[in-house]
Amino acid sequence: MRKIGCGLLMFISFIGYGQKSQSVITDDIQNFWKAYEQILITGDSLKKIEIIQTQYIDKGTEGLKSIMQARRYTAAEYIQAIEHYPLFWKSVRENTLKVSSYARELEKGIKRLKKIYPGLKPAKIYFTIGALRTVGTTLDDKVLIGAEIAMADDQVVTSEFGEYLSHLPSYFAANPLKNLTFLNIHEYIHTQQKTTIGNTLLAQTIIEGAAEFVAATALQINSPNEQVTFGKLNDEKIKKAYVKEMFSTNFNNWIWNSPDNEFHMRDLGYYVGYAICEKYYALAHDKKQAVKHMIELDYNDREQLIRFVEASGYFEQDLSVYEKEFEASRPVIVKIEPFENGKSDVDAGIKKVTLHFSQPMNKSSADFDIGPLGDQHVMWLEKRLGFSADGKSYSFEIKSLVPGMRYQLLVTGDFTNSSGIPLKPYLIDIETSK
């Protein structure tokens, strides 16, 4: 989720009495439905794309431009969503058109946030219509809401959704429209943070957990998200699994993931972050300072992050213990064929390279990067041949090598084992014989 920022009433004017809010921007909602009406009455597929482009995207607010950038939405994707889910769009329309009536509650929520965090910076909230891929995000000082998801409720039709959208029926059943203010305050908090992208799972966990906990504290309610409720009932089991991955650069088991995991619950990293922040806050004598610290923490500064987490007392052992265990669990490359890494007499005629791993790997995850010497010395891939049946080797063909040339290729942590633990990055660094 992401940020929002406005503080006192001066930053947001009430919708009503003929006034239009300067900080809650809803123009994209009306523009979408006008374009939608035109799309429904044309059978020309190219014309449909032209309509959504000219009548919605081109007329879009800065918020629409930003959410399209953040989620890489395209005109064609909008048309595909409209055509595939006609009952859904018909059922959600009424809710989204009530968006202006929620401005007063959003203003109250922002005032409450300002009360516990006086340093709150102004931001704008943009309500847009997306293509069913985000409930909310942020970019710079803008809160970006995908109203087609955020403003749904348990009456919205989901019978058309296939596996790709299988997570949405249960989300809509929980009536997200009732929690619209909470979502916006959570996202608003993200606009105040130094970053919304962590360099480890632990960093991303605290980024999301801080927004979740501070939003709940400001609004004086329990988090309405099912991950937090579920987490409190299963804390020890979740913690035991989480510590195995907290120093990972792979978030896929914990954040922005599917419920296809051992707990059958998505986004449990939000709960872990919430629980850490909750304990930190409970121990703090100065509550406002605790909130300030959570929001202004440099999450990607390893030492700052570890001090904060250890101060909460959430985990039983020092984090260094878990970090050592994590490093010991990571897969490594044990052999390369047909050459030995580091050699300076490698045959320039080789075409196929095979990596051998210490553990079975996830066959859907593999990537490479340029080495320290830059793109002038890259061993370029010609063709990916893929993993062996047991997942313990990966082969690829390379482009022709030049004799007497140094070559590098970084095998990245995007290679993960079958449990999602990333490979220790491995630099292939050789020189061909003259």
> Which domains are delineated in the chain?
1-161 (no CATH), 193-329 (no CATH), 333-431 (2.60.40.1220)
- For the record, the structure tokens of 425 come out as 């990055």
Position 5 confidence tier, pLDDT thresholds 50, 70, 90: very low
Residue 13: is its pLDDT beyond 80?
no
Specify the 3-state DSSP secondary structure of 149: helix
Which distant-in-sequence residues (6+ apart) come within 8 Å of 336 by Cβ? 353, 354, 355, 356, 428
Which residues lie across from 251 on neighbouring strands? none
Residue 50 burial by Cβ neighbours in a 10 Å radius (0-12, 13-18, 19+): middle
- The C-alpha angle 207, 210, 216, rounded to 5 degrees, equals 145
Residue 229: is its pLDDT beyond 90?
yes
- For the record, the structure tokens of 346 come out as 């490698």
Position 375 confidence tier, pLDDT thresholds 50, 70, 90: very high
Contact predicate 433/345, CB 8 Å: yes
Question: What's the one-letter identity of residue 397?
Answer: E
| Rounded Cα–Cα distance for residues 434 and 430 (Å) | 13
What pTM was estimated for this model as a whole? 0.82
| Rounded Cα–Cα distance for residues 294 and 297 (Å) | 6
pLDDT of res. 35:
98
Separation of CA 302 from chain center: 20
Half-sphere exposure of 69 (CA within 13 A, CB side): 12
Average pLDDT, the chain: 92
- Please name the helix (run of DSSP H) or strand (run of DSSP E) that holds residue 151, with its range, or none: none
**Mean local confidence (pLDDT), 310-319:** 97
Percent of the chain with pLDDT over 90: 87
Structure-token match 């080797």, residue found: 393
| Rounded Cα–Cα distance for residues 396 and 414 (Å) | 16
Angle formed by the axes of helices 180-192 and 103-116, nearest 10°:
50
Half-sphere exposure of 181 (CA within 13 A, CB side): 20
Mean pLDDT lowest for which of 21-30, 37-46, 200-209, 269-278? 21-30
Residue 23: is its pLDDT beyond 90?
no
By C-alpha distance, which of 189, 39, 12, 259 is closest to 129?
39
Half-sphere exposure of 51 (CA within 13 A, CB side): 21
Mean pLDDT lowest for which of 14-23, 195-204, 301-310, 366-375? 14-23
**Mean local confidence (pLDDT), 150-157:** 96
By C-alpha distance, which of 122, 127, 120, 121 is closest to 144?
127
**Mean local confidence (pLDDT), 192-207:** 96
